[in-house]
Chain A
Amino acid sequence: KNQVEQSPQSLIILEGKNCTLQCNYTVSPFSNLRWYKQDTGRGPVSLTIMTFSENTKSNGRYTATLDADTKQSSLHITASQLSDSASYICVVTGGSYIPTFGRGTSLIVHP
């Protein structure tokens, strides 16, 4: 069964600090991995997308990494801002092209 596991479940950091969110998956075969940001009560917004051949991709202060051998990905947030408070969702798509969603990591940035 395809699964996507994210850790930690929740995280609290101070404004200006860095943090790293983890994603492990068992989806096979692998097509792509995406990170989404979801503000409370809103729809998710795509941050990055990576295919098998890519091992890092940046979008401003967000940097995603992918290790397809160990089936792990991370999302690093640099110099966090209050607006980064949200849920971050890892999504992996396999051969069926139907995505499998992780449960998300809830990030709270305190001033």
Chain B
Amino acid sequence: AQRVTQPEKLLSVFKGAPVELKCNYSYSGSPELFWYVQYSRQRLQLLLRHISRESIKGFTADLNKGETSFHLKKPFAQEEDSAMYYCALATGTASKLTFGTGTRLQVTL
């Protein structure tokens, strides 16, 4: 069965420090992975997907099939990055997602 693991419930960093939110997955098929974000008082929204290999708001994520990981990184954290981040794995169609338990990123001055 598919599974997504986000080991950290809370990650607190200083403004300007690098950020790495960890995500590991287990899935026997070809994985399709996403990061979703929920800012305070906003709805859950897509941040980025591995297939497009893009940088969104300075965040990048690389799929490492050998380590079954899809960590989210940003070189310099900003206050507005404070939010709840969920890693998600698509199984079947791309709209059936298995989510991790989420990591709250707190960026402090």
* Physical interaction between A and B: no
**Interface residues in chain A, defined as those with a beta carbon under 8 Å from any beta carbon in chain B:** none
**Interface residues in chain B, defined as those with a beta carbon under 8 Å from any beta carbon in chain A:** none
